[in-house]
């Protein structure tokens, strides 16, 4: 396929940087056309994975239908972005499942907020296990959407799980490259080694009974010198626009992984062998102004056909979490209807 870069015309020109909540932000959208059911299932490590199963109210449960797994941004939970995508795609006739990755939200895993790229990928496959067991789901028509960090996790899963028939990523972060190199390769090897050394030292602290230490994540207070990217995340995670604290967690820990586990991303290379997903199709969606755009472009460059890259004018990274005037649900619908036939 010839390279396709679709510039989708935005329905609104309000930017995420504008004061206040964007008018089209709808993270907590609820549809009267969709039924939602809380579900749990086990991954192959016998850990409980929690999700929300969305079905159209008009669904013929005597027939079999295409289904889509939806993964949340890294450090978030299903109630942040994933439920919105699952709801909107269910409105289009798909059975959809948003899930909490292990160690986050309502899913099991100790310590809380731990990083485990292999387990995150396993959770996507476990979600496929669950969907394929539903009598109203066509076992051979299951796809997946990964938002932000989940974009790299679903790619990792799809490389070794051919039951995932079509993959779409939105505002994708390659969590491995982001951890090793930072954005635009701005982190030196010496800085990387320093982070690794800090995490190793913290292991000794915790082994001796000390408390866990948390890292990165979204700031809890804006200051005059707060970086624009942190301001972008703050506008979602620390305001009513997208703020959500799961039961048993605390606002202070939301989005913050444990320091000792976060360095595991250094060994995470989701784009290695991405070409082996072919001939299953891949769709990469990114904002034209997104700080994360480099990851979608790199994945597109490395992936084999069939593949598409969709660039949304006027959209930043977080805009595609919840701004229904910018998110190309029509493009996602067309992609999955075509490839989950």
For residue 339 the two structure tokens come to: 């490839």
Task: Read off the pLDDT band of 247 (50, 70, 90).
Answer: confident
Distance CA 104, CA 74 (A): 10
Let me know if residue 143 belongs to a domain: yes
Residue 221 lies in a domain: no
Domain coverage including residue 272: 5-185+264-339
Which residues does 146 contact at the CB level (< 8 Å), separation at least 6? 71, 124, 152, 153, 154, 155, 167, 168, 169, 170, 172
pLDDT digits (tens, 9 = 90+) for 100-151: 999 999 999 999 999 999 999 999 999 999 999 999 999 999 999 999 999 9
Pair 260, 213: CB distance under 8 Å: yes
In a domain, 200, yes or no: no
Q: How many domains does the chain have?
A: 1
Q: What does the DSSP 8-state code read for residue 289? A: T
List phi, psi (to 5°) of 136.
Answer: -100, 10
Q: Which pLDDT does position 27 carry in this prediction? A: 98
Integer Cα distance of 104 and 39 in angstroms: 15
In a domain, 157, yes or no: yes
Task: Answer yes or no: is 226 within a domain.
Answer: no
Instruction: Write down the mean pLDDT value for the chain.
Output: 94
In a domain, 28, yes or no: yes
pLDDT, one tens digit per residue, over 255-299 is 999 999 999 999 999 999 999 999 999 999 999 999 999 999 999
Q: Which residues contact 106 (CB under 8 A, 6 or more apart)?
A: 40, 50, 77, 78, 100, 246, 247
3-state secondary structure of 197: helix
* CATH code: domain of residue 107: 3.40.50.1820
């Amino acid at each position: 396929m010839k390279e396709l870069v679709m510039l989708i015309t935005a329905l609104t020109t309000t930017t995420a940087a504008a004061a206040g909540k964007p008018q089209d932000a709808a993270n907590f959208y609820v549809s009267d056309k969709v039924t939602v059911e809380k579900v749990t299932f086990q991954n192959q490590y016998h850990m409980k994975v929690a999700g929300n199963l969305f079905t159209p109210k008009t669904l013929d449960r005597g027939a079999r239908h295409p289904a889509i797994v939806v993964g949340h941004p890294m450090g978030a939970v299903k109630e942040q972005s994933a439920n919105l995508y699952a709801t909107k795609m269910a409105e289009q006739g798909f059975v959809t499942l948003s899930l909490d990755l292990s160690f986050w939200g309502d899913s099991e895993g100790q310590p809380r907020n731990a990083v485990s790229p292999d387990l995150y990928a396993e959770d996507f496959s476990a979600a496929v296990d669950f969907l394929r067991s539903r009598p109203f789901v066509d076992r051979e028509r299951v796809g997946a959407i990964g938002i932000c960090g989940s974009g790299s996790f679903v790619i990792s899963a799809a490389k070794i799980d051919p039951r995932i028939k079509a993959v779409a990523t939105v505002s994708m972060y390659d969590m491995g490259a982001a951890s090793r190199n930072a954005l635009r390769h701005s982190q030196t090897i010496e800085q990387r080694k320093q982070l690794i050394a800090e995490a190793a030292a913290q292991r000794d602290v915790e082994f001796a009974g000390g408390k866990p230490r948390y890292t990165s994540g979204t700031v809890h207070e804006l200051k005059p010198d707060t970086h624009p990217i942190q301001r972008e995340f703050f506008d979602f995670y620390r305001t009513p626009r997208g703020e959500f604290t799961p039961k048993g967690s605390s606002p202070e820990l939301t989005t913050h992984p444990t320091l000792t586990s976060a360095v595991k991303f250094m060994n995470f290379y989701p784009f290695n062998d991405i070409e082996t997903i072919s001939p299953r199709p891949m769709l990469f969606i990114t904002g034209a102004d997104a700080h994360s755009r480099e990851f979608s472009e790199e994945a597109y460059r490395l992936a084999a056909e069939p593949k598409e890259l969709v660039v949304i004018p006027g959209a930043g990274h977080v805009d595609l979490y919840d701004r229904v005037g910018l998110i190309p649900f029509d493009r996602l619908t067309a992609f999955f209807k075509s490839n989950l036939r």
